[in-house]
Amino acid sequence: IAGITQAPTSQILAAGRRMTLRCTQDMRHNAMYWYRQDLGLGLRLIHYSNTAGTTGKGEVPDGYSVSRANTDDFPLTLASAVPSQTSVYFCASSEKGQGSDEQFFGPGTRLTVL
């Protein structure tokens, strides 16, 4: 099935633990993104990648890291989780990341840090 998958669907995590959220797309899109969505706030960009092998920082990158070893996968790592990282995390991709390119979103990961 074409699209974007994320894992896990939800997770409860103890503060201080390390966690990697997985994201895989099979549309051969060049650009990929990680967002967090909090109640009352818009989607906020954490990190992005315009093409395999490159990454960039978004609006709220602190406490998160990413890698883009290949076109399909874009994992997001929380090195030492804190309660303020409790959120819904969406991975997205777009063909080129320019112009009218729409972003396609994964189903999201609901993360709770206690």
Which positions touch another protein (CB under 8 A)?
35, 40-45, 48, 58, 90, 97-100, 102-108
Question: Do residues 56 and 65 make contact, with C-beta atoms less than 8 angstroms apart?
Answer: no
- For residue 96, is it left (φ>0), alpha (ψ between -120 and 50) or beta? alpha
Rounded to a whole number of angstroms, the minimum distance from the CB of residue 86 to another protein is 16
Question: Do residues 94 and 111 make contact, with C-beta atoms less than 8 angstroms apart?
Answer: no
Beta-sheet strand order (sheet of 76-78): 4-7, 19-25, 76-78, 64-66
Rounded to a whole number of angstroms, the minimum distance from the CB of residue 73 to another protein is 18
In this complex, which beta carbon is closest to another protein, that of residue 22 or of residue 44?
Answer: 44
| Amino acid in the structure at residue 24 | T
Rounded to a whole number of angstroms, the minimum distance from the CB of residue 94 to another protein is 9
In this complex, which beta carbon is closest to another protein, that of residue 62 or of residue 99?
Answer: 99
In this complex, which beta carbon is closest to another protein, that of residue 14 or of residue 41?
Answer: 41
In this complex, which beta carbon is closest to another protein, that of residue 14 or of residue 99?
Answer: 99
- Take residue 4 and report the two structure tokens written for it: 């974007």
